[in-house]
Structure 1
Amino acid sequence: MRFDGVTVAYGRTVVLDRLDLTVEPGEVMALLGPSGSGKTTALRAVAGFVRPASGRVLLGGRDVTALPPHRRGIGMVVQQYALFPHLKVKDNVAFGLKAHRTPKAEIPGRVAEALELVGMAAYADRHPRELSGGQQQRVAIARALAIRPGVLLLDEPLSALDARLRSGMLAELARLHRELPDVSILYVTHDQVEALTLADRIAVMDRARLQDCGTPEELYRRPRTEFTASFVGNANLLPVTVTGEGSVELSSPENGPEHRPEGDDGRTARRPLAVPTDTAAPGATATLCVRPHLVGLGVGPNGLTGTVTEVQWRGSTHRVHADVDGHHVMADLRELREPPALGDRVTLHFAAEDAVLLPAGTTGGSS
């Protein structure tokens, strides 16, 4: 599946801007981004529900841009299931097969195969109203798989489920991916956990454009832009100035005068921090990215001294928020019997190898 310079516009409003993206056979590609980023429009362009203003959509090397949806051989699951309430489960699953003019004798076997694949064989004679939300979603997936598509499109398929059901369905989708190694899956979501859990690669969308693309580990451990760092997981993004090879200093806050805490003789902002700087020359401004779970409490390398502004207990961790010379820093700290209190002065630290230096101002919307 390939997007070749696909642009979609409604009047003068461009909702998908020159998308170039390839999904390999058998790959799960997540389109991740906020509302209005263009991810659902991209999926609808593949399905044939919107016609690009320019560019091409290719499936298996074949240009399908002008083909109607029913001739593309695609399975699709939407967030509200779209099951027919008056039809039994088996008849819902058979609907797509009949629409594709599958020989009548083949339909019962294909329906049984699809329901078995999603663990719903025992519910074939029930109506959708007799099923839970998670079960209805499984039936919708079975209906999409019954036609044996080469491409499966999933549009926010878990957003209507509660947290427990969503976790279970994530595991089911991962299992389906293993059992259907030849099916390419395009998965639209705004949920970073879903994308990190399921995807082989993640395409990060914002403002109608593709901002970044890579494996979940690449985007999480070594993001290339501020937008990717903030949207794929949580991140501390601190403005810095490169002072030399392997050395940076925190910049002064953009709003408000510099402040020096009472009794503090050396502001953190003027202490050198040792981080990799091979992507920036001395004197350049940049953004330092450090994930909160890689920030420790107490004296250590690359110390940041600040004042605690908030403490959140999250079960296995405490998230400590601190003001470090006007900059907001988060630390996810495990097994704290006595977490710091609001107003406490604390020192946080991080290792050089856990930091990534990003180009300043890469917050999205770039070409």
Structure 2
Amino acid sequence: MADGIRFEKVSVAYGGNTVLDSLDLTVESGEVMALLGPSGSGKTTALRAVAGFVRPASGRVLIGDRDVTDLPPHRRGIGMVVQQYALFPHLRVEDNVAFGLKAQKVAKNEIPGRVTEALEMTGMASYAKRYPRELSGGQQQRVAIARALAIRPGVLLLDEPLSALDAQLRSGMLAELARLHRELPDVSILYVTHDQVEALTLADRIAVMDKARLQDVGTPQELYRRPRTEFTASFVGNANLLPVQVGSGSVSFAGAELKVPTGDVSSGVSATLCVRPHLVGLGDGPNALTGSVAEVQWRGSTHRLYVDVDGHRLKADLRELRTPPALGDEVTVHFAPEDAVLLSAGVSADG
């Protein structure tokens, strides 16, 4: 059974400035949990608290059933990969991968086999005798992952591991990380990123961070289709966020009555309506809104239309528009009731 990770009211402060505020979060055994958020949101601090590189001002960090809050990094049994690879330039690939094994005082006769196993897992076995300078960025990152896996950790920490790679390499490495997770189902992974595509692609669940606090947590599908907060809606995928007034059985926006599920949102309050751009259609339909085209962007397989509706700019991602509308054209857009989510003001991850 893999080791899970548990944060119990973990806070971290530097010079009186709180950078992680009372984090309560559990990464289940064998789960990939992405910490997603902008710079300064606290996600990397949370990962460093697990690694042992920062000491919480309060709270506890547990790996499995062990309280590791006061343990040094080398006694936590974790593997870690950072964005800049951190390979030793004077050591060959095989020696870089062996480094952690030697630090853990693994038997000498066992090390070569463990190194080969980790390099084969990451597709780098044929590069064992090369130096880091003889490798591409993607290859160096594979070696860094192999080094982390060689110690057979119960927990793997990945801190923005793909951010230094170009788009094509990043896509390839995403596929490789997904494959590794399938091959290592007992390893719990905490993956820090500001890139929503990485989080949506790899994670079993996503924890959304902002301003040192946990804002939301759920599966990628839950957070994308039914976000609980405006921040989640805007950070996990693109979203139209429209200010609306909730009535009895209906919602009003820009003088139009919209039919959308109101859920637990009370009648007579202001709220925010979330609709994903790809769920907005052009032409008449349910929940029709009329406005003027403010901008048209061709994005290859889609056109992104920006439509001004009563002073609010609404985005629509439309496929296969052979003749898109021109700037200033009046158009009607619509969306299905079931594709809209009503968000109450002031909802946080704590409810």
| TM above 0.5 | yes
- 1:1-367 alignment runs, 5 A limit: 1-245=5-249, 247-250=250-253, 269-362=254-347
Deviations 1:260-280 (A, max 9, x none): xxxxxxxxx112000001221
Q: Is the Cα–Cα contact under 8 Å of residues 79 and 151 in structure 2 kept in the other structure?
A: yes
Structure-2-length-normalised TM-score: 0.97
SS at match of 2:297: strand
Q: Is the Cα–Cα contact under 8 Å of residues 279 and 357 in structure 1 kept in the other structure?
A: no
Aligned partner letter, 1:349: H
Q: CA shift at 1:3, angstroms?
A: 0.3
Matches of 2:221 and 2:246, distance apart in 1: 26
Deviations 1:184-242 (A, max 9, x none): 00000000000000000000000000000000000000000000000000000000001
RMSD (Å) for aligned C-alpha atoms: 1.1
Aligned partner letter, 1:356: V
Q: 1:17 to 1:144 in 2, by over 3 A?
A: same
Q: Is the Cα–Cα contact under 8 Å of residues 236 and 292 in structure 1 kept in the other structure?
A: yes
Q: CA shift at 1:170, angstroms?
A: 0.1
Matches of 1:163 and 1:361, distance apart in 2: 36
Aligned length: 347
Q: Is the Cα–Cα contact under 8 Å of residues 207 and 365 in structure 1 kept in the other structure?
A: no
Matches of 1:84 and 1:300, distance apart in 2: 61
Deviations 1:82-120 (A, max 9, x none): 000110000000001001111111000000000000000
Q: CA shift at 1:178, angstroms?
A: 0.3
What residue ranges of structure 2 are gaps of 5+ in the alignment? none
Q: Is the Cα–Cα contact under 8 Å of residues 239 and 360 in structure 1 kept in the other structure?
A: no
Q: Is the Cα–Cα contact under 8 Å of residues 133 and 161 in structure 1 kept in the other structure?
A: yes
Q: CA shift at 1:361, angstroms?
A: 4.5
Structure-1-length-normalised TM-score: 0.93
What residue ranges of structure 1 are gaps of 5+ in the alignment? 251-268
Runs of 4+ in 1 over 4 A off after TM superposition: 364-367
Deviations 1:253-309 (A, max 9, x none): xxxxxxxxxxxxxxxx11200000122122111100000000000011101111111
Aligned partner letter, 2:153: P
Q: CA shift at 1:366, angstroms?
A: 8.1
Q: CA shift at 1:318, angstroms?
A: 0.3
Q: CA shift at 1:365, angstroms?
A: 9.8
Q: Is the Cα–Cα contact under 8 Å of residues 216 and 349 in structure 2 kept in the other structure?
A: no
Deviations 1:301-351 (A, max 9, x none): 101111111111110000000110011100000000001111111100000
Aligned partner letter, 2:49: A
